[in-house]
A and B are shown apart, each in its own frame.
Chain A
Amino acid sequence: MWPLIETGAWVLSALFALHMLWDWYRTDTTYSEDVLTSSREGEIEAMTEQHKLNG
């Protein structure tokens, strides 16, 4: 049984890796680099709340 499980682990590993690589390729060829790297740091919620309180 264990040789089969070992083979299964290799196959599953390959499938996970291939899925990530395929999706990576598809994403990078579908979207522009400007969109993909447009992320900027977020907002400080506590300050947003303070701003609302202050009107």
Chain B
Amino acid sequence: MANTDITSKTMDGMGPHGTKVGLLRVLGPAHVWALGVGIVLVGEYMGWNFAVGKGGAYAALIACWFAGILYSCVAMIDSEVTSTVAAAGGQYTQAKHIVGPLMAFNVGLYLVFAYTMLEAANAITLGYLITVAADMTGAVEPVSDRPFIVLAIMFLAWLNYRGVLATLTFNLVITAFAFVAILVLFFASAPWSDGTMMAHADLMSGQAALPYGWLGVLAAMHFGLWFYLGIEGTTQAAEEVRSPARALPFGTLAGIMTLLIAATLTWYVCVGYLPWEYLGDGVDGAVAPLFSAAQLTGSTALVVILGFGTLFATLASANGCINDASRAWFSMGRDHYLPQWFGAVHPTYRTPYRAIIFLVPIALIFALGAPLDQVITFSILSGLLGYTFMPINVILFRRKWPLDTIKRGYEHPFHPIPAILLICLCAVTYFAVFLGYGTQLIAMVSFYIVVSLWFHFWRYRFVKRADQFTMPWPKPRGY
């Protein structure tokens, strides 16, 4: 049984098992919240409205709430498992301990791809926003987005390189601003007042209610994920929070509650201001629907607040993605699933500095060389594969280590209903994704099959099998 208190002053930042330089335990629940919500909130500012284009305003609301149930299950399951697996790597480390090496290798890659692609997509969006700002301020010549894409990735990578506390405190400030901006727009629109400019009754009646029927609702499910995609990233902070058993469940569950509120308010405000045909066209119509809604209010203050909200949400998401992708890559290196060289920690800044630097050119290649919709689709597909793993993971976890064998920081209720619900919702979402992006789905699954074969037949020989299981858990039941 464990007798080492890593949170004590003498052990601050120094892990057990011979660690000389480890990640620093400096984060609190607010940082966990900022990491999870920060990655996601950009989905409220842009992207979710493609769901309106697929099936109309009501379809987008149904997708929003169904995806909300899916992600509530994700948050609850993640909170329980990660409160006992207090190590960087998040779901990768969970898979390693609970399922097995091949699953862990795949889950690690899902995480790195999902976050690195999302980081690239955020950088592309940020570059686009700067060019829009240039147009609005009367730039005489077209402004290139490339220097701003590169600057966003370089600055955030540098921030991550220099230390996790500053990185996630920065995320906390800009994420809180972006969330409050949504609340400000909602209250400034005064939906309870007779004089409100929102016109739900006019914009959502007749043909506009469900323009493509129930098939449209199914198709909208794919983009419903945007409201919450990435909340599971809170688990990557597990090795850097002062109190993992408390901070991780608290930060994750507060995060999903924040997102449920933000998603519903975003939907309500946007469909009240914008016709569904315009709102649902995220390319030529409402690229940033909350910003478009603010413009329709005629208030300069709201336009400025929502403009900065959009910018900050994008920046926070990219920042959180760099943090999470690097922790997953670092953990795989530390366990020899990848070259151990990636498992290095900076002796001064206590960050996985080689993993951070290695992922910079990959993000740049995708941000500068790939179309936005393809980048986002590959990110969502990798995320979806990760969500499919979670219910299997938690069912095995409860079976191998029942509640009386390992003390959890949080025990999720109604087990196994959330796991079964999550599997069913994943199946529906796979079908919805297949309708729109079948080729990409097949290409992605083929890629993971090929790298799984490479891992099984080649890479696994380098893994030191005993060294990778350092958690002082009792033997699993039945073994």
- Looking at the complex, which one of B139, B154, B238 makes contact with A2 (CB distance below 8 Å)? B139
- Of B11-19, B42-50, B369-377, the segment with at least 4 beta carbons within 8 Å of chain A is B11-19
Contact between chains at B244 and A45 (CB < 8 Å): yes
Contacts A45-B245, A51-B2 given; does A39 touch B343 at CB 8 Å: yes
Contacts A45-B7, A47-B407 given; does A40 touch B22 at CB 8 Å: yes
- Docked complex Cα distance between A19 and B360 (Å): 14
Contact between chains at B151 and A39 (CB < 8 Å): no
B147 close to A (CB within 8 Å): yes
Contacts A6-B144, A9-B150, A24-B357 given; does A41 touch B2 at CB 8 Å: no
What are 5 residue pairs bridging A and B, where the CB atoms are less than 8 Å apart in the complex?
A35-B20, A39-B23, A39-B343, A39-B345, A44-B473
- Looking at the complex, which one of A1, A2, A17, A41 makes contact with B93 (CB distance below 8 Å)? A41
Q: Which residue of A lies closest to B343 (CB)?
A: A37
- Docked complex Cα distance between A41 and B84 (Å): 12
When distances are taken between beta carbons in the complex, the residues of chain A under 8 Å from B354 are 24
- Docked complex Cα distance between A54 and B1 (Å): 11
Measured between C-beta atoms, what is the minimum distance from B356 to chain A in Å? 8
Contact between chains at B5 and A27 (CB < 8 Å): no
Q: Which residue of B lies closest to A19 (CB)?
A: B158
Contact between chains at A46 and B141 (CB < 8 Å): no
Contact between chains at A16 and B21 (CB < 8 Å): no
Measured between C-beta atoms, what is the minimum distance from A46 to chain B in Å? 4
Contact between chains at B141 and A9 (CB < 8 Å): no
Interface residues of A in 1-55 (CB under 8 A from B): 1-3, 6-7, 9-10, 12-13, 16-17, 19-21, 23-24, 27, 31, 33-51, 54
Contact between chains at B409 and A46 (CB < 8 Å): yes
Measured between C-beta atoms, what is the minimum distance from A4 to chain B in Å? 11
Contact between chains at B93 and A20 (CB < 8 Å): no
Measured between C-beta atoms, what is the minimum distance from A55 to chain B in Å? 11
List of 5 A-B pairs having minimum Cβ-Cβ separation, nearest first: A9-B147, A40-B17, A46-B245, A41-B87, A36-B344
Contact between chains at A42 and B87 (CB < 8 Å): yes
B161 close to A (CB within 8 Å): yes
B136-173 near A? 1/0 per residue, CB < 8 Å:
00010101100110110011011001000000000000
Q: A10-B150, A51-B2 are in contact. List 11 more A-B contacts (CB 8 A).
A: A3-B141, A6-B148, A20-B353, A24-B357, A36-B344, A38-B22, A39-B15, A42-B25, A46-B244, A46-B408, A51-B3
Contact between chains at B21 and A13 (CB < 8 Å): no
B396 close to A (CB within 8 Å): no
When distances are taken between beta carbons in the complex, the residues of chain A under 8 Å from B406 are 44, 46-47
When distances are taken between beta carbons in the complex, the residues of chain B under 8 Å from A10 are 147, 150-151
Measured between C-beta atoms, what is the minimum distance from A23 to chain B in Å? 8
B188 close to A (CB within 8 Å): no
- Among A12, A20, A45, max chain B CB count under 10 A is at A45
B295 close to A (CB within 8 Å): no
- Docked complex Cα distance between A16 and B151 (Å): 9
B471 close to A (CB within 8 Å): yes
- Docked complex Cα distance between A49 and B21 (Å): 24
B79-95 near A? 1/0 per residue, CB < 8 Å:
00001111110000100
Contacts A36-B347, A47-B472 given; does A42 touch B407 at CB 8 Å: no
When distances are taken between beta carbons in the complex, the residues of chain B under 8 Å from A24 are 353-354, 357
B341 close to A (CB within 8 Å): yes
Measured between C-beta atoms, what is the minimum distance from B295 to chain A in Å? 22
